[in-house]
Amino acid sequence: MSSVCAVEFNDDRPPALSDVSAYAVLERELQIGREIQAGFLPGQLPVPSGWELEAEFRPARQVAGDFYDVFDLAVSQRTAVIVADVCDKGVGAALFMALIRTLLRHTVETGGLHSMSTLGWDPRDGLPRVGEAPLLHAVNSTNRYLTRVHREQGYFATLFFGLFDASTGMVSYINCGHNPPLHVAADGRLLGELAPTGPAVGVLHSADFRVGRVQLKPGESLFLFTDGVTDCRSSDGEFFGEQRLIALASLPAPSARVQIERIVRALEEHGGDGEQHDDITLLVLRRCAETETQITARNGLS
Amino acid sequence: MTQIVSLYSYRGGTGRSTTAANVARLLAGDGARVAVVDTALHQPALHSLFGIDRLPEWTTFTDYLLGRCPLWNVVREVPLQPSGPLGTGGRLYALPACNLPYKIETIKNRGYDIGMLGEAFTLLSEELELDYLILDTSAGLSNETLAALAGSHTVVSLARSDRVDLNTARLNAELLQRLSTGRMMLVLSGTEGASPAGLDAEFEKAYGLPVTAILPAIAEVSEVSGQTLFVETFPEHVLTARYREIADALAAAA
């Protein structure tokens, strides 16, 4: 669904050699940018035993403003999942994607100890769980950096940043003005949507971010997506919409791969041959049902 | 349910660690399952109070917080020595912090995920089936102390029975109200002979609490410190009786 960068040629005359040459240079540079950006996306997803993680990423142009990331936090033994959408598309958004992804990941991995009061954590709310202080620090400091240093450029990002504990199914998250992920039961019921717990990063310097929690029981899934999914338009301009997405997410499926392929196929059918207007990112996190985990363990698979 | 108890003081020198260790011993003697955690990571003292001279590498609470060992490598059972009327029916566990300077520097400079403190408190409470989890804190408002206060059901606030601590008593009481939802107990320490007339009442007024115990300054504390627990060496001492008042107040609140 990726489109070729459009270059304007005047009227019906054949393009001049210099135009073609400039186009080729531009195309090559964009290809390099695309390859570098691909390096910012995870190659192989680290999937804990008893879990499934599947992602689909389709940029609207050569380079994208969407991104996703999945990585392990070794000391705290949590797995981080990020799905984000930088405003705008193309090269500008891609540059900010690289910046925001790096700030978030580096800070959550190396942030160290931070005063609970500096984090804006009210001690009367009890203690943060493992990973929640670095999570809050990563989002806070990324937001402060963007609003302090890059305020003039006006770029911002909505994002969902979650850390899950593979042993308990507990997911701690911050939803920064992002499309609420869908929490779906093993039988397909929609259990809830993870509403924003703060604004988009890069907008308000003194924004207040809170940590939310949700527990995934065996067989339950989280569907994370960017608005490229719900805003996918048909040839007559109809949006794919959240209801279609919920209906598809609610169909029983044997695996996260089946769940994601089903949605991707529906998006392709809905979009037809029309131009893809926005980057599409979709990630499914599924905790295997206990029977599946037992079978996996018996087979020595992870 | 485990009662989590923090021993807190705004200034140092109030006898927090000594009180924590001895009150824990009395509670364990009464048949309770008790663990004491040294959260004073920058000035650890618990190992010494429990007579743990050498701390092998990768076996301290500091190592756990740095992600270098599992929590269960840190837990040490402290034998309950029979002594006078003290019982030996319960269990006492200690989780000392590391006293090696380079590791104190490491945790100071590198930091750690504060959520691991809360996880440790939960795991210890559940897995050891504790009646009491006692948190020895550092003086003032370090991050560990803030976390301990936030996670506690009971905060035992120790203050020196002098004018210096009295001057900050009201401020301190307000601070504790803001930082903890737990119940408060007030203990005064370090009084040599009679404290200035009316001072105890002034503390009570500032905190809005009765004084649970007044710990006299006793030379024998420093004589036995690092070798045996005071209450085991002097089971009939007046200071042991004061520690007993704190233990009984905690038991009544449980």
Per-residue pLDDT tens over the stretch A133-158? 899 999 999 999 999 999 889 899 99
Range of B245's domain?
3-253
Of A113, A124, A126, the CB nearest to B143: A113
In this predicted model, what pLDDT tens digit does every residue of B133-167 receive, in sequence order?
999 999 888 888 888 998 999 999 999 998 889 99
Residue numbers of B between 108 and 127 with CB closer than 8 Å to A: 110-119, 121
Kindly report the pTM of this predicted structure: 0.82
Write down the CATH number for the domain with range A48-298: 3.60.40.10
Tell me the DSSP string of chain A.
---PPP----SSSPPPHHHHHHHHHHHHHHHHHHHHHHTTS-SS----TTEEEEEEEE-SSSS-SEEEEEEEETTTTEEEEEEEEESS-HHHHHHHHHHHHHHHHHHHHH-----TTTTT--GGG-PPPTTHHHHHHHHHHHHHHHHHHSGGGT--EEEEEEEE-TTT-EEEEEEESPPPPEEE-TTS-EEEE---SB--BTT-TT-----EEEEPPTT-EEEEE-HHHHT-B-TT--B-HHHHHHHHHTS--SSHHHHHHHHHHHHHHHHTTSPP-S-EEEEEEEEPPHHHHHHHHHTT--
Residue B111 to residue A127, Cβ atoms within 8 A? no
Minimal-distance CA residue of chain B relative to A116? B143
The chain B residue lying nearest A118, using CA atoms, is: B143
* Structural domain spans, chain A: 48-298
The domain that holds B103 is classified in CATH as 3.40.50.300
Which regions in chain B score pLDDT beneath 70? Answer: 191-196
* Mean pLDDT, chain A, integer: 86
B 30-69 residues with CB below 8 A of A? 66-67
List CB contacts (< 8 A) between A124 and chain B: 150, 178-181
Nearest to A116 among B119, B121, B146 (CB): B146
Residue in B113, B143, B149 nearest the CB of A131: B113
Minimal-distance CA residue of chain A relative to B66: A75
pLDDT < 50 positions in chain A? 1-7, 9, 294-302
pLDDT in tens, B91-127: 999 999 998 889 899 888 888 888 899 999 999 999 9
Contact criterion met (CB < 8 Å) for B179 and A126: no
Taking CA–CA distances from B149, the nearest residue in chain A reads: A123
Q: Distance, in angstroms, between A48 CA and closest chain B CA?
A: 19
Rounded to two decimals, the ipTM of the complex is 0.77
Total structural domains within chain B? 1
Q: How many CB pairs under 8 A join A and B?
A: 72
CB spacing of A123 vs B111 below 8 angstroms: no
pLDDT tens digits for range A29-67:
888 888 888 888 888 899 999 999 999 999 887 777 899
